[in-house]
Structure 1
Amino acid sequence: MHYLTYAIAAFLPTSAHAEGFIRPIPLAQTAAAEWWFLWASVALLAALLVVHMLVRRR
């Protein structure tokens, strides 16, 4: 019985090998993505300004 357990334990990891990592190809940034990034940056700066004004009053 122990031999069967050892055989299964020896051959089990061979079926769990992962395939090699394939590096993704980066895509160019679109104009729409740059537009959304601009608005997200403006919203972040506005939120930081509001937090600054709220904290400064204390």
Structure 2
Amino acid sequence: MTRILTLAALVPAPLLAAPFERPIPQPQTETAEFWFFVGSVALVLSLVAVQWLVSRR
């Protein structure tokens, strides 16, 4: 057991570790853009509805 630990200590760490690979962002799809637009319109309409309800009081 001590031989394995000694051998592992002699091997440089970069040889044991995998190199870091930078993540590549995926392009935004048309479906994602459509649902973002729907969500944005829904948010604006809900804010208008809240403003209308608050101003009536």
Return the offset for 1:22. 5.0
Unaligned stretches of 5+ residues in structure 1: 1-18
Distance between the aligned counterparts of 1:21 and 1:32, measured in 2? 31
| Equivalent residue number for residue 33 of structure 1 | 32
TM-score computed with the length of structure 2 as normaliser: 0.59
TM-score computed with the length of structure 1 as normaliser: 0.58
Percent sequence identity over aligned pairs: 52
Per-residue CA deviation, residues 16-53 of structure 1 (Å, 9 max, x unaligned), is xxx88754211100000000001000100110000000
Aligned length: 40
**CA-atom RMSD in angstroms:** 1.9
| Equivalent residue number for residue 51 of structure 2 | 52
